[in-house]
Amino acid sequence: MTTVISNPADGGAVPPAPRQSRKLPGWSKGLIWVAAVIAALSVASYMTGVAQLTATGTIQTALVLAIPILLAALGGLWAERAGVINIGLEGMMIMGTWGAAWAGYQWGPWVAVLAAAAFGAIGGLVHAVATVTFGVNHIVSGVAINLLGAGLTKYLSTLLFQPVSNNPRESPPVEKFDTYSMQPLSDWLADLENMQRVGLSDVAGVLRGLVTGISPLTMLALLLVPVSYLVLWRSRFGLRLRSCGENPTAAESLGVNVYLHKYFAVIISGALAGIGGAALLLTPGVHPGYLEGQTGGRGYIGLAAMIFGNWRPTGLLGGSALFGYADGLQLRSGGSTVMALFYAAVLVLFAGAVALVFMRKYFAAGITLLGAAVLYFIYWSVDEMPSQLSTYLPHMVTLVVLAVAAQRLRPPAANGDEYRRGRGH
């Protein structure tokens, strides 16, 4: 029975307004995905007998490796939300790593973080001058920054590090940050993990890895995610900055200094990438000092994490966790554990296909099932992934994730466009 509402103005009847369905908030969707992934890893760990998938050590390593990627991704977010493509994150990370080593071995880790931010910001400033002031193509400028960062640090290492370390590619040992654990929570979670209960012990292992052996730089990096969200999405300054990336002409007409906001965003972007370079150096358990080639392409992976996260802080946090986990798994456990990860991916894809069927997206469900079948065939036919391939697991995951996520991406509308005051973009 349909209810109608009388309209006294015209004596007729109008149908009621359609009832809008309530959507889940973004944070709840993220929690659902986290729960689904942990459940898939738990089942895969039980079915394959590979406990390392959810072990505390694996999660600790994954967190350490995810932090530099996260900071680079945050740097990319700031620049691209202002309309400047920053493919030079890798070069800025390299400069930050060198700056942290140079300051760290003389004055300690906190000064190293400040020096890393300063060196990365210098790279960001150069990129801003080239793209914002002179209108250089953003990709060309970013590639130049990457080459400049590698060449400049090589020269400076030969000039300043070789007399001290007797190696032009390496710095003297640098003091690391101390690490902290949440006690007695960590011990309680260790007891639960050692019980070897399916599901319960897996969750305990994941949580214990997140609260044990945490450095101040890790806490700072995680804190910067909500801070970036509040500044960019919940402040007037952030609204003006994002308007420069969406429609700088309209922003200019409303009195926004587009040049100033772009400069600020790109300099902050470089500083965050530089701190990401410091994270590679100052975290306990990594190389004792600066080493040429230490970033290993993590600036590019950070850019991929930002794209995977659809230019949103929470999304890039998930992307960084994914890439860090893939890297940590292959470092700690090798090829056999990587194949168990394939099994977990099959479970996630199958669950996704079922969800797509309920949403009546049958074509997407079929493609997802096909991907799950391919991964299961690889898992069934290969006992252990060769070490030559497992080393590049994070890069392979990057390519697959970007290919899958490409259909739902929505970058800032004026990202990469040249802007000139009074002439539009």
Q: Specify which residues 6 forms β-bridges with.
A: 13
In the predicted structure, residue 6 carries a pLDDT above the cut 70: no
Q: Specify which residues 214 forms β-bridges with.
A: 180
Phi first, then psi, for residue 423 (nearest 5°) are -120, 10
Angle at the Cα of 314 from the Cα atoms of 81 and 418, rounded to 5 degrees: 10
Q: How far apart are CA 147 and CA 139, in angstroms?
A: 12
Read off the tokens for 392.
């590049």
Q: What is the CA radius of gyration of the chain?
A: 24
DSSP, collapsed to helix, strand or coil, labels residue 49 as coil
Q: Enter the DSSP assignment of 178.
A: P
Read off the tokens for 417.
């466009």
CA distances from 112 to 17, 101, 392 (A): 60, 7, 30
* Cβ atoms of 36 and 351 closer than 8 Å: yes
Average pLDDT over residues 251-266: 95
Higher pLDDT, 198 or 68: 68
DSSP, collapsed to helix, strand or coil, labels residue 286 as coil
Q: How far apart are CA 195 and CA 199, in angstroms?
A: 11
Angle at the Cα of 322 from the Cα atoms of 320 and 325, rounded to 5 degrees: 105
Least confident of 110-119, 373-382, 402-411: 402-411
Q: How far apart are CA 190 and CA 201, in angstroms?
A: 9
* Cβ atoms of 244 and 82 closer than 8 Å: yes
Q: What confidence score (pLDDT) does residue 375 get? A: 85
Provide the whole-model pTM: 0.89
Q: What confidence score (pLDDT) does residue 73 get? A: 97
CA nearest 400: which of 297, 300, 304, 296? Answer: 304
DSSP, collapsed to helix, strand or coil, labels residue 170 as strand
Read off the tokens for 216.
């101040």
What is the per-residue pLDDT across 287-309, written as a single tens digit (0 to 9) for each?
788 999 999 899 999 999 999 88
Q: How far apart are CA 371 and CA 26, in angstroms?
A: 26
- Peptide bond between residue 184 and the one before it cis (omega within 30 degrees of 0): yes
* Amino acid in position 224: L
Provide the CA 262 distance to its chain's centre, in angstroms.
22
Percent of the chain with pLDDT over 70: 90
Percent of the chain with pLDDT over 90: 53
Q: How far apart are CA 278 and CA 96, in angstroms?
A: 6
In the predicted structure, residue 58 carries a pLDDT above the cut 70: yes
Q: How far apart are CA 21 and CA 29, in angstroms?
A: 16
In the predicted structure, residue 282 carries a pLDDT above the cut 80: yes
Average pLDDT over residues 412-422: 88
- 17 torsion bin: left (phi>0), alpha (psi -120 to 50), beta (else): beta
- 386 torsion bin: left (phi>0), alpha (psi -120 to 50), beta (else): beta
Exposure string over 380-390, b if 16+ CB within 10 A, otherwise e: eeeeebeeeeb
Confidence of residue 1 (pLDDT cuts 50, 70, 90): very low
Confidence of residue 337 (pLDDT cuts 50, 70, 90): confident
